């Protein structure tokens, strides 16, 4: 039996699409992961063999200021509670992390062995959660995603679709390099890990190739036949108060090798996602 926490979020809904009635799905009102007693009570009710943590505080802008405390409470204390409760019932814990744990100073892809060093509060909370996972979890895996997208929830593909269909012109950055994670592929990789019988691992899971948001806008403009004018700008000129890694390309070759998952190019992933929207 699988148990998904944070089931109402984007990734929770993608897990529901793939796992159907093989899992129990808990929203924040069924199981608030910041409340250890509630987590333990939920686990003792359902006795899951695998717990999938889709719960997180994900508003990067608000995490920087007014919501910093709640961000750390959910993303760090929540993971601590899940780890403690999983260990008590010998359950495997799947946790999702992010490319934002890196500082963006590298110029070639980040592997699972690279040093972390988040540069914004959301990233720092996720970095600390990885440490908690490393220290406390007996059985499980961290999957690091980057610009996660699907037909559900809020995500970058939906945002760009909206901008490209509603705006006359947009500015997009050419020199910030990232990879993107198709949530369907992430779920498949998680299931492959669970079936592999491996004990404790960390995986990057993203597209096989890198892109800038300018590349994304141009690709989506072609698919959507949008008339929006796309202006290229540099990272240094993008008006944002929040530091984001300038280079956060993830190397997902470990997952491809060990879990036998086929990595997609971001172009293949975007095209697949837009068909489902
Ligand atoms: N989205 C991305 O681009 C991206 C990129 C890299 C990594 N990730 C990681 O991928 C994972 C899934 O992201 P997502 O896009 O699915 O995020 P999401 O859509 O924001 O979903 C998160 C869910 O967690 C719930 N939640 C918040 N606090 C909770 C609590 N205390 N107890 C239980 N549930 C709680 C939220 O409920 P409410 O909405 O009611 O608060 C929401 O349903 C996260 O770990 C995220 O850090 C995301």
Residue-wise pLDDT for 168-208, tens only, equals 999 999 999 999 999 999 999 999 999 999 899 999 999 99
Task: Kindly state if the Cβ of 38 falls inside 6 Å of ligand 1.
Answer: no
* Residue whose tokens read 């059985």: 139
Pick from 218, 269, 240: which is nearest to 61 by CA?
240
The Cα-based distances of 47 to 54, 93, 142, 194, 231 in angstroms read 18, 13, 21, 17, 53
The pLDDT value given to residue 242: 95
* Structure-block tokens of residue 196: 């592999």
Instruction: Give the 3-state secondary structure of residue 224.
Output: helix
Could you read off the pLDDT of 100-112 as tens digits, one per residue?
999 999 999 999 9
* Structure-block tokens of residue 237: 């000129």
Distance 128 CA to ligand 1 centre (A): 16
CA 189, CA 55: separation in Å to the nearest integer? 18
Q: Which residues contact 135 (CB under 8 A, 6 or more apart)?
A: none
* Closest residue by CA, ligand 1 atom 30: 32
Instruction: Kindly state whether residue 222 falls inside one of the protein's structural domains.
Output: no
217-233 exposure pattern, b = at least 16 Cβ within 10 A, e = fewer:
bebbbeeeebebebeeb
Could you read off the pLDDT of 27-84 as tens digits, one per residue?
999 999 999 999 999 999 999 999 999 999 999 999 999 999 999 999 999 999 999 9
Q: What is the CATH number of the domain that holds 12?
A: 3.40.50.720
Task: Kindly state if the Cβ of 147 falls inside 6 Å of ligand 1.
Answer: yes
Task: Kindly state if the Cβ of 79 falls inside 6 Å of ligand 1.
Answer: no
The pLDDT value given to residue 228: 98
When pLDDT is averaged across residues 11-36 and rounded to a whole number, the result is: 98
Could you read off the pLDDT of 128-146 as tens digits, one per residue?
999 999 999 999 999 999 9
Instruction: Kindly state whether residue 213 falls inside one of the protein's structural domains.
Output: no
Q: How many Cβ atoms are within 10 Å of 51's Cβ, its own excluded? A: 28
Mutating to test ligand 1, I would choose from 12, 28, 74 the residue with most ligand atoms within 8 A of its C-beta, which is: 28
CB 191 within 8 A of CB 52: no
CB 198 within 8 A of CB 210: no
Provide the percentage of residues in the chain whose pLDDT is more than 90.
99
| Burial of 234 from C-beta contacts in 10 A (0-12 / 13-18 / 19+) | exposed
The pLDDT value given to residue 198: 86
Total domains present in the chain: 1
C-alpha radius of gyration, the chain, whole number: 18
Distance 53 CA to ligand 1 centre (A): 9
Provide the percentage of residues in the chain whose pLDDT is more than 70.
100
Instruction: Kindly state whether residue 166 falls inside one of the protein's structural domains.
Output: no
The pLDDT value given to residue 25: 98
Backbone torsion region of residue 273, taken as left when φ is above 0, otherwise alpha when ψ lies between -120 and 50, otherwise beta: alpha
- 239 has pLDDT over 90: no
Backbone torsion region of residue 266, taken as left when φ is above 0, otherwise alpha when ψ lies between -120 and 50, otherwise beta: alpha
Domain that holds residue 46: 2-155+179-208+250-264
Pick from 149, 156, 180: which is nearest to 248 by CA?
180
- Active-site annotation, residues: 122
CA 243, CA 254: separation in Å to the nearest integer? 28
Instruction: Kindly state whether residue 48 falls inside one of the protein's structural domains.
Output: yes
* Structure-block tokens of residue 2: 């699988």
């Amino acid at each position: 039996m699988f148990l998904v926490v944070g089931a109402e979020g984007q990734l929770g809904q993608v897990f529901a699409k793939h796992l159907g009635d093989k899992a129990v799905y808990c929203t924040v009102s069924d199981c608030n992961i910041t409340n250890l007693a509630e987590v333990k009570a939920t686990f003792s009710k359902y006795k899951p063999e695998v717990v999938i943590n889709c719960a997180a505080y994900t508003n990067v802008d608000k995490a920087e200021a007014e919501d910093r405390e709640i961000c750390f409470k959910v993303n760090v204390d929540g993971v601590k509670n899940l780890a403690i409760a999983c260990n008590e019932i010998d359950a495997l814990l799947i946790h999702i992390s992010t490319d934002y744990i890196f500082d963006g100073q590298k110029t070639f892809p980040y592997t699972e062995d690279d040093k972390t060093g988040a540069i914004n509060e959301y990233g720092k909370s996720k970095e600390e959660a990885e440490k908690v996972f490393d220290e406390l979890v007996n059985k499980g895996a961290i999957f690091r995603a980057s610009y996660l997208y699907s037909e559900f929830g809020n995500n970058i593909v939906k945002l760009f679709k909206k901008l490209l269909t509603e705006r006359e012109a947009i500015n997009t950055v050419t020199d910030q390099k990232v990879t993107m994670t198709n949530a369907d592929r992430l779920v498949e990789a998680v299931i492959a890990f669970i079936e592999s019988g491996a004990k404790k691992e960390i995986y990057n899971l993203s597209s096989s190739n890198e892109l800038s948001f300018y590349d994304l806008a141009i690709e989506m403009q072609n698919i959507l036949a949008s008339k929006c004018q796309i202006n290229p700008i540099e990272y240094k000129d993008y008006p944002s108060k929040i530091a984001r890694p300038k280079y956060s390309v993830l190397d997902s070759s470990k997952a491809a090798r060990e879990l036998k998952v086929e990595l997609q190019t971001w172009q293949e992933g975007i095209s697949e996602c837009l068909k489902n929207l």
